[in-house]
């Protein structure tokens, strides 16, 4: 009986991990691979290789006009390439190169442009650009109380997810049959999907932390959280980065982490803000977690991303301690809860956009300056050549201090320096 259940469970896991399911989903959503050149000469249709833009970026290129460029018009007006093969529209390559090998990947065809842009948006909800925009905007314009706890959840979920990846070490879905619409994270391990984890934890935590603290319809908040989660999770299958099993495991793992740590968020936040030894413990804990986890057999973006997340979390936790003692961004008293959303006027929207634009400029400038100072300094300290920054950053001695210092400073400035400047010039 037990042996049969175990065998059935193994078969289910193998079924959910089958890359053919990913390929079917991609074809259903309008993603097709191009045929190799040797098949083209045998009459198989494919994309026009000569017109694909190396470096990606334009997934909606127009169909070439008859008689122009390197192609020629066929009998029915179709465009032929220089080998006499019919060209197809929308042949592109992934938007970003593989972070380890620099490989740009193979060409593919986009038949449904709307889904391509939709799932590109979904996958960006788990990337650095989103984090460096969303968390600060929420801090400066909505609710610093919620944002502090949300960052704690994000750090926990992403740290545990990245560590689990490096322990299990399952590869990405095989290509073929999967089309790699994204290549940047292709060198990382696959199980579980940290995009699915963050795409579950962030919207669900946002709903749990704001419901009853702010007045809004429960159905609206829950619907937005579910839609956010579904979009991020399905986008990773569309991009060819994860199997169905990776997504399910990431979703369930994220729920487990929330179940265990949500009751402790109040304790963690209060400690970070009020305990006299909080700064020392915050720095020691975040650095220690990073050193404990980095046991990669080969370099990938995983180690740097984990250090970046830990550094950002440490910087924001330190900023919350400073803010508490300076009385900056104080939490509203319990007597005024639940909070009422303000009326959306042009002046309010303009003020929020002004805070966001000025704040992001400060954060981007902070990151650029700290990066320019930190990498050469760390390379000099450890005797590592800095002429090739990309290779230098793959050394653990460079990557960890660089990520911690740069993003720790960015996190500190996001919750302390930027609000302090806003208060000084009257923007808060």
DSSP-derived 3-state class of residue 59? coil
> Which residues, other chains included, contact 214 with Cβ-Cβ below 8 Å and sequence gap of 6+?
143, 338, 339, 340, 341
pLDDT, tens digit (0-9, with 9 covering 90-100), for 231-251: 999 999 988 888 899 999 999
pLDDT, tens digit (0-9, with 9 covering 90-100), for 342-367: 888 898 899 999 999 999 999 999 99
Instruction: Report residue 225 as tokens.
Output: 């959280």
Q: Is the peptide bond before 192 cis (omega within 30 degrees of 0)?
A: yes
Q: Which of 118, 308, 293, 305 is nearest to 194 (CA)?
A: 305
Residue pair 315/407 in contact by the 8 Å Cβ criterion: yes
- Residue 242: active-site member: yes
Catalytic residue among 195, 275, 286, 325: 195
Catalytic residue among 242, 286, 321, 325: 242
Instruction: Report residue 99 as tokens.
Output: 């972070």
Q: CA distances (Å), 25 to each of 179, 208, 243, 249, in order?
A: 11, 32, 11, 18
- Residue 195: active-site member: yes
Measured over the CA atoms of residue 257, residue 260, residue 265 and residue 267, the dihedral's sign is negative
Q: Which of 79, 25, 9 is nearest to 49 (CA)?
A: 79
Please provide the size of the chain in residues.
Answer: 428
Q: What is the pLDDT along the chain (428 residues), one digit of tens a residue?
A: 666 777 777 788 778 888 888 888 988 988 887 765 434 333 334 333 333 333 344 433 333 343 334 444 444 444 444 444 444 455 676 666 665 556 666 777 888 889 988 998 999 888 888 888 899 999 999 989 999 999 999 999 999 998 888 888 888 888 788 888 887 777 777 889 999 999 999 999 999 999 988 888 999 999 999 999 999 999 999 888 888 999 999 999 999 999 999 889 999 999 999 999 999 999 988 888 877 765 555 555 677 778 888 999 999 999 999 999 998 888 888 778 888 888 888 988 999 999 999 999 999 999 999 988 888 888 888 877 767 666 766 677 777 888 889 999 999 999 999 999 999 888 87
């Amino acid at each position: 009986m037990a042996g049969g259940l175990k065998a059935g469970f193994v078969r289910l896991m193998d079924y959910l991990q089958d890359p053919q399911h990913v390929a079917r989903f991609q074809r259903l959503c309008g993603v097709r691979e191009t045929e190799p050149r040797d098949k083209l000469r045998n009459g198989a249709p494919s994309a026009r290789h000569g017109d694909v833009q190396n470096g990606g970026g334009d997934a909606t290129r127009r169909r070439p006009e008859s008689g122009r460029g390197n192609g020629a018009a066929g009998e029915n007006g179709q465009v032929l390439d220089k080998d006499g093969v019919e060209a197809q529209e929308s042949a592109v390559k992934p938007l970003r190169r593989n972070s380890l090998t620099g490989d740009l990947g193979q060409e593919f065809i986009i038949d449904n442009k709307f889904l391509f842009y939709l799932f590109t948006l979904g996958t960006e909800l788990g990337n650095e650009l989103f984090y460096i925009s969303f968390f600060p905007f929420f801090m400066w314009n909505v609710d610093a109380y919620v944002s502090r706890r949300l960052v704690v959840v994000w750090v926990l979920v992403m740290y545990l997810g990245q560590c689990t990846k490096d322990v299990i070490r399952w590869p990405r879905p095989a290509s073929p049959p999967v089309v790699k619409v994204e290549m940047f994270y292709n060198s990382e391990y696959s199980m579980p999907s940290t995009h699915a984890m963050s795409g579950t934890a962030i919207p669900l935590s946002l709903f749990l932390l704001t419901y009853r603290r702010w007045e809004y319809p429960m159905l609206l908040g829950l619907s937005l959280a579910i839609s956010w989660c579904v979009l991020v999770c399905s986008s990773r299958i569309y991009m060819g980065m994860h199997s169905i099993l990776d997504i399910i495991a990431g979703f369930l793992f994220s729920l487990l982490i929330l179940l265990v740590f949500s009751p402790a968020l109040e304790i963690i936040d209060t400690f970070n803000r009020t305990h006299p030894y909080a700064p020392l413990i915050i720095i020691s804990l975040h650095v220690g977690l990073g050193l404990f986890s980095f046991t990669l057999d080969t370099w990938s973006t995983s180690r740097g991303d984990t250090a970046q997340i830990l550094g950002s979390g440490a910087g924001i936790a330190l900023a919350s301690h400073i803010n508490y003692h300076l009385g900056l961004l104080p939490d509203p008293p319990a007597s005024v809860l639940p909070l009422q959303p303000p009326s959306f006027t042009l002046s309010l929207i303009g003020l929020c956009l002004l805070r966001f634009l000025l704040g992001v400029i400060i954060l981007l400038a902070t990151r650029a300056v700290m990066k320019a100072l930190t990498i050469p300094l760390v390379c000099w300290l450890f005797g590592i050549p800095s002429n090739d920054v990309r290779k230098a950053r793959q050394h653990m001695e460079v990557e960890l201090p660089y990520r911690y210092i740069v993003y720790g400073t960015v996190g500190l400035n996001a919750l302390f320096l930027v609000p302090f400047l806003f208060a000084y010039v009257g923007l808060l």
